[in-house]
């Protein structure tokens, strides 16, 4: 099989989806597909080689198509973003794919790619759905990251047999390490205290502010660490929430994340119930990393999270409720035997959520299409 994975994403990026895209290409190639990753040309942003940046095998090719890069000069400029996106889409439009399978997680690519062999991976449903629905119709197969997304698509008239649910995944080999509590000292976190850790970005639906507020209800021997924000998002969060017991730390290289996770005492997934992307659609990469770490998890009790976690594998709290979150963290820390049992159950469960298994599920879905 020849496969072109086409994405609008700037690579490398400090966003988790950059790693996921590269990892999927690596796994498609490992399963005997001839893979070409097609991305826009970029002159700004992170300069590192994507393969080295993400620690990905060079078993597929990386091709760049021309596009403007005005967003690199004008951060958050809507017009610049639209022009950069449009020029890349026009470059895609000018390319013929023949029998090559076009795989993408950008519905705009599904609209512009000159191919009748398109697989669209969906992570959310946009508010304006007209073009999105047209993209769904053009795609031969659909891949969604949660059953919540599948049910929403079915309500929009998409045949169930066209859709496969393939949650995000984890590379278990990254967690074959011996962690050390000393990793915390460089960030001025006391390793002698209990550490409740969140990794990820700090924007609204992620729920990071719920954890920051929960810190006020936790005892003084618990350090709350929020790790992963960038730029203005990080600066604003630090200004609002950072104090002697709430440590707001910027983005860390992903190869270091397993060490931080495995040296914490509890890992927190505080997703908000307010937007549908978090309540029903999401399948966070961090969730599977948390599970692989063998550390107890405290997570929002949401339909999206319940697709993966149960009361056997995590402590679940009422979403957006800082008091209940604090109580569940304290309970997990004060009941080590129960917490250890939950963590071991989660680590066993996550063995079926590997990148290899995810790609096999997707390829089976593609190969069995009419």
239, 102: one domain: no
CATH code assigned at 124: 3.40.50.2000
pTM of the model: 0.95
Alpha helix stretches (DSSP H) within 94-230: 107-112, 130-138, 147-155, 208-214
Q: Which tokens hold the place of 252? A: 């860390």
Cα–Cα distance between 343 and 312 in angstroms, integer?
9
Query: 60-85: per-residue pLDDT in tens?
Result: 999 999 999 987 666 557 888 899 99
pLDDT at 132: 96
198, 101: one domain: no
14, 153: one domain: yes
Please name which of 203, 65, 87 lies closest in space to residue 79, comparing C-alpha atoms: 87
Please name which of 333, 261, 37, 306 lies closest in space to residue 147, comparing C-alpha atoms: 306
pLDDT at 369: 66
Query: 36-50: per-residue pLDDT in tens?
Result: 999 999 888 888 999
pLDDT at 323: 98
pLDDT at 74: 63
Q: Average pLDDT in the 326-350 region?
A: 98
206, 327: one domain: yes
pLDDT at 76: 57
81, 210: one domain: no
Query: 304-324: per-residue pLDDT in tens?
Result: 999 999 999 999 999 999 999
Round the average pLDDT of the chain to a whole number and report it: 95
110, 180: one domain: no
Q: Average pLDDT in the 144-160 region?
A: 97
16, 152: one domain: yes
193, 325: one domain: yes
204, 293: one domain: yes
Give all strands of the β-sheet with 34-40 in edge-to-edge order.
Answer: 61-65, 34-40, 2-6, 101-104, 118-122, 141-144, 163-165
Q: Which residues span the domain enclosing 359?
A: 2-169+354-367
Number of domains comprising the chain = 2
183, 317: one domain: yes
158, 180: one domain: no
146, 226: one domain: no
Residue 334 has pLDDT above 90, yes or no: yes
Q: Average pLDDT in the 229-235 region?
A: 89
Query: 241-260: per-residue pLDDT in tens?
Result: 999 999 999 999 999 999 99
């Amino acid at each position: 099989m020849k496969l072109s994975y086409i994405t609008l994403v700037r690579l490398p990026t400090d966003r988790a989806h950059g790693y996921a895209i590269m990892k999927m290409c690596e796994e498609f190639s490992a399963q005997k597909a001839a893979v070409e990753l097609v991305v826009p040309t970029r002159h700004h942003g992170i300069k590192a080689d994507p393969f080295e940046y993400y620690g990905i095998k060079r078993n597929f090719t990386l091709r760049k198509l021309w596009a403007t890069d005005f967003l690199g000069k004008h951060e958050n400029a809507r017009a610049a973003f639209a022009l950069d996106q449009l020029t890349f889409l026009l470059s895609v439009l000018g390319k013929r794919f023949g029998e090559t399978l076009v795989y993408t997680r950008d519905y705009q690519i599904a609209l512009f790619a000159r191919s009748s062999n398109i697989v669209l991976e969906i992570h959310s449903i946009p508010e304006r759905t007209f073009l999105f629905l047209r993209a769904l119709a053009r795609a031969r197969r659909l891949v969604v990251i949660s059953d919540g997304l599948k049910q929403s698509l079915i309500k929009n008239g998409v045949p169930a047999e066209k859709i496969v649910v393939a949650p995000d995944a984890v590379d278990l080999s990254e967690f074959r390490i011996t962690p050390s509590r000393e990793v915390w000292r460089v960030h001025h976190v006391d390793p002698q205290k209990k550490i409740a850790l969140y990794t990820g970005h700090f924007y609204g639906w992620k729920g990071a502010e719920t954890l920051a507020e929960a810190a006020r209800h936790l005892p003084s021997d618990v350090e709350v660490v929020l790790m992963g924000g960038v730029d203005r998002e990080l600066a604003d969060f630090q200004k609002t929430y950072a104090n002697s017991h709430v440590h707001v730390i910027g983005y860390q290289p992903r190869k270091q994340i397993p060490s931080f996770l495995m040296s914490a005492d509890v890992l927190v997934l505080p997703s908000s119930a307010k937007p549908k992307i978090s309540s029903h659609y999401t399948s966070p990469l961090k969730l599977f990393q948390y599970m692989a770490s063998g550390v107890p998890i405290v997570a929002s009790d949401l339909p999206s999270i319940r697709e993966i976690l149960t009361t056997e594998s995590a402590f679940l709290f009422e979403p957006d409720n800082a008091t209940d979150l604090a109580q569940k963290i304290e309970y997990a820390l004060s009941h080590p035997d129960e917490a250890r049992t939950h963590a071991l159950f989660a680590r066993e469960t996550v063995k079926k959520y590997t990148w290899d298994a995810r790609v096999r599920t997707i390829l089976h879905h593609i190969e069995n299409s009419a």
